[in-house]
Structure 1
Amino acid sequence: MKQTDPGFAGSLGMGERPALLVIDLIAGYFLPESPLYSPRYAETLPQILESIAFARSSGWPVLYTRLAYDQQHWTGGHFLRKISALTLLQTHPHWADWVEGLAPGPKEPILTKQYASAFHNTPLLATLNFLRVDTLVHVGLSASGCVRATATDAMQYGYLPIVLEDAVEDRSAAIKEANLYDLQAKYADVMPLEALKKRCNNLK
């Protein structure tokens, strides 16, 4: 992703112990009857699945996040007031299931979250520390929300964040482009999956 602002967008590189984080691939984002739906999301799913296959073949830990709320919606707080469509995950539980085609492995951790960042009130930080991860690769939904918030927190917790631009998506191309541009400028290395593969090969 080309940057034009001088003094921004330095390269973070790659550590020795990467992990892949698959963010919020729940069915509600992919079903037309859901208010969370966008047709753009399904277009990105093949790249996400390819990213998972690459991580597994490379021996990386693969972790998943999903959204869930209590019946009173207290655990979502003001976030649910702002995005009221998320309250429907309680009344339409099949929307909170994994999207068709995604199958977390039996040894791949699943973290339940209520807010944007996968680090907020989840065991993600402790899990990454236990696994001695130093690089966190992000895929999933959405670029402007949970992906951006998680990648920013990853940087702030001392991890090397990588966001795969062809394996994340948003409600519009403009929203995605603006947020990935800013992530590349300040918080993460943003690149396509093929570039990540080359970076990994260069480290061997």
Structure 2
Amino acid sequence: MSTFDEGFDGRLSPGRRPAVIAVDLMQAYFEPASPLCLPSRDCLASAARVLAAARRRGVPVVHTRVEYAPAGRDGGVFVRKVPALKQLFGGGPMSELMPEVAPIEHELVVTKQYASAFFGTSLASMLVARGTDTVVIVGASTSGCVRATGVDAVQHGFIPLVVRDAVGDRSAQTHEASLFDLQAKYAEVVDEETAVTYLEEQR
């Protein structure tokens, strides 16, 4: 994926200690009654295949989900800006992870309140403690939590690989624009085959 002609889009070579971050693959993004629902489940199926490859090679997988205290008391102005988040107040089924990507034993689940998986969580310290140098990012939505997580990953010193096929958005335009921007400035945008091959090369 090429971006601007000059001064951007340098190449980041993946390291040898990856982890997968599965961002917010919750019922809220796949339940038709939800205002956050994506138009397709294709990214969910792709994410499941990426997770399967990671598990086969013993690569750590971290899941994130969003949940707020009753009345959204821990959501600040974010929940005022995005009223659709009210369905995540007090937990409930919309905050639950999809069965296709459900955590297995020993996989960490990070509960967050804002877009980035790193903001206000212990994710960075957990990855550092494991010696992680690269994060493979899947999930939803591309223009929101995936993009924010990719930006914060590079700011924490990790090499982000965003898997194009395994991230989804409500808008094709914002999906493509976000991937373009991530590739230009913050991450390597790769397809599912590339991500799976990389994970399966791990020892």
Q: Which residue of structure 2 lines up, in the alignment, with residue 174 of structure 1?
A: 173
Q: How far apart are the structure 2 equivalents of 1:104 and 1:8?
A: 36
Partners of 2:42 and 2:166 within 8 A in 1: no
Q: How far apart are the structure 2 equivalents of 1:32 and 1:190?
A: 28
When the two structures are superposed, what TM-score results if normalisation uses the length of structure 2?
0.94
Change in Cα spacing, 1:48 to 1:201, as seen in structure 2 (3 Å) is closer
Report deviation, 1:203.
8.1
Partners of 1:27 and 1:95 within 8 A in 2: yes
Are 1:126 and 2:125 counterparts?
yes
Q: Structure 1: any 5+ residue segments left out of the alignment?
A: none
Partners of 2:163 and 2:190 within 8 A in 1: yes
Report deviation, 1:8.
1.0
Q: Deviations over 1:124-152 (max 9, x none)?
A: 01110111101011000011110110110
Q: Which residue of structure 1 lines up, in the alignment, with residue 140 of structure 2?
A: 141
Q: Which residue of structure 1 lines up, in the alignment, with residue 25 of structure 2?
A: 25
Q: How far apart are the structure 2 equivalents of 1:103 and 1:161?
A: 22
Q: Secondary structure at 1:168's aligned position in 2?
A: strand
Q: Structure 2: any 5+ residue segments left out of the alignment?
A: none
Matches within 5 A, 1:67-146: 67-90=66-89, 93-146=92-145
Q: Which residue of structure 2 lines up, in the alignment, with residue 152 of structure 1?
A: 151
Q: Give the aligned residue type for 2:74.
A: T
Q: Give the aligned residue type for 1:21.
A: I
Q: Deviations over 1:16-43 (max 9, x none)?
A: 1000000001101111111111222x12
Partners of 2:139 and 2:168 within 8 A in 1: yes
Q: Which residue of structure 2 lines up, in the alignment, with residue 3 of structure 1?
A: 3
Q: How far apart are the structure 2 equivalents of 1:137 and 1:195?
A: 11
* Deviates most, 96-105 or 149-158: 96-105
Q: How far apart are the structure 1 equivalents of 2:27 and 2:66?
A: 11
Q: Secondary structure at 1:166's aligned position in 2?
A: strand
Q: How far apart are the structure 1 equivalents of 2:9 and 2:90?
A: 43
Q: How far apart are the structure 2 equivalents of 1:3 and 1:184?
A: 7
Change in Cα spacing, 1:199 to 1:7, as seen in structure 2 (3 Å) is farther
Q: How far apart are the structure 2 equivalents of 1:16 and 1:97?
A: 31
Alignment RMSD (CA, Å): 1.7
Partners of 2:160 and 2:188 within 8 A in 1: yes
Partners of 2:88 and 2:94 within 8 A in 1: yes
Q: Give the aligned residue type for 1:35.
A: P
Partners of 1:79 and 1:115 within 8 A in 2: yes
Q: Which residue of structure 2 lines up, in the alignment, with residue 163 of structure 1?
A: 162
Change in Cα spacing, 1:203 to 1:10, as seen in structure 2 (3 Å) is farther
Give the percent of matched residue pairs that are identical in Structure 1 and Structure 2.
Answer: 44
Q: Give the aligned residue type for 2:114.
A: Y
Report deviation, 1:73.
1.1
Q: Which runs of 4+ in 1 moved over 3 A?
A: 197-204
Change in Cα spacing, 1:73 to 1:137, as seen in structure 2 (3 Å) is same
Q: Give the aligned residue type for 2:65.
A: R
Q: How far apart are the structure 2 equivalents of 1:100 and 1:183?
A: 28
Q: How far apart are the structure 1 equivalents of 2:14 and 2:94?
A: 35
Q: How far apart are the structure 1 equivalents of 2:24 and 2:201?
A: 30
